Amino acid sequence: MHLQESWGMNVILDLFLGGMGAAAFILALYDYLKGERELSLKVAFAGVISLILGLLFLVSHLGKPEAAFHVFLSPNTSSVMTYGVFFNILFLVFGGLFVLPALLPKLPYSGKAGAMKLLGVIGGVFALLVMIYTGLLIARTSYPLWRNPAVPLLFVLTALSAGAGLYILVAEALKKTFPSRLISFSLLTTFLAFLAFTSMLLLVDIAPLAYRESVHFMLSENLAATMLLYLVGFAAPFLVSLAQRGRSSKALTLVLALALILQALLCRYLVVSSAFMELPW
């Protein structure tokens, strides 16, 4: 049985930061389009920064990053990664132009509502594609665990949780009020992510040997991370929101935001680092 070791923390962080950044951008864009301009633009800015950080981790993983221009010269259109590169870049361009007024308010287009909306919507479309592509990227491999249809869904759901977490963090850092529906939304994505992840574990009896080995690995070598995911990533957001009923606490809000972010990171860590493949030799 072969445990994958080629993709380590750099790729995990790219998948995590990219997904979180894209989701935060989408959530912020929704509020921007509804009329909340100031905070949403800053959250979207944080989302783009998160994506850039993720891309830096990805580039540091590449064995020969200087050859990356070949993706543009001779792109392989059957590769999910090729699409991912273009989605990331287009998100960076349109999303970057959209969030730039948060840093430079006197840009020529920053006062034009139509132009800003157009940039935001185009950036949002590519942000959505970036968020979806991270799960599809690993599904298109030879590891039975990664091929599970629950994985792309899990990646999207946890990205949305982490995006909400980042939104809350930015709001708290800027001492602004974030929309309360964000908590209900993140609890919904957390619950669905819990179902998706747990279904991955419960499928073990009818799965191939390598898949079973992966689940066994999650519950043995990676048990600490699995426990942390369930206790902090899945349970803590519900416990914190229950504790917050009646009284609002900044500390608890920060715990909630961090738990949501940790949920996405741990999910990606567990899925990526627990992949086994059965080789004939």
Binding site for another protein (CB under 8 A): 2, 4, 6-7, 61-65, 67-68, 70-71, 73-76, 78-82, 85, 137-138, 140-143, 146, 277, 279-281
> What is the residue whose two structure tokens read 């949501």?
260
Q: Which is nearer to another protein, 105 or 149 (CB)?
A: 149
Q: Which is nearer to another protein, 68 or 103 (CB)?
A: 68
Q: Residue 3: enclosing H or E segment and its boundaries?
A: strand 2-3
CB of 54 to another protein, least distance (A): 14
CB of 62 to another protein, least distance (A): 5
The one-letter amino acid at 102:
A
CA distance to 106, 123, 157, 265, per residue, from 113 (Å)? 14, 15, 31, 35
**Cβ proximity of 159 and 23 under 8 Å:** yes
Residue among 266, 274, 272, 276 at smallest CA distance from 234:
266
Q: Which is nearer to another protein, 114 or 280 (CB)?
A: 280
Q: Which is nearer to another protein, 197 or 276 (CB)?
A: 276
CB of 85 to another protein, least distance (A): 6
**C-beta neighbour count of 7 within 10 angstroms:** 16
Cα–Cα distance between 243 and 245 in angstroms, integer? 6
CB of 217 to another protein, least distance (A): 17
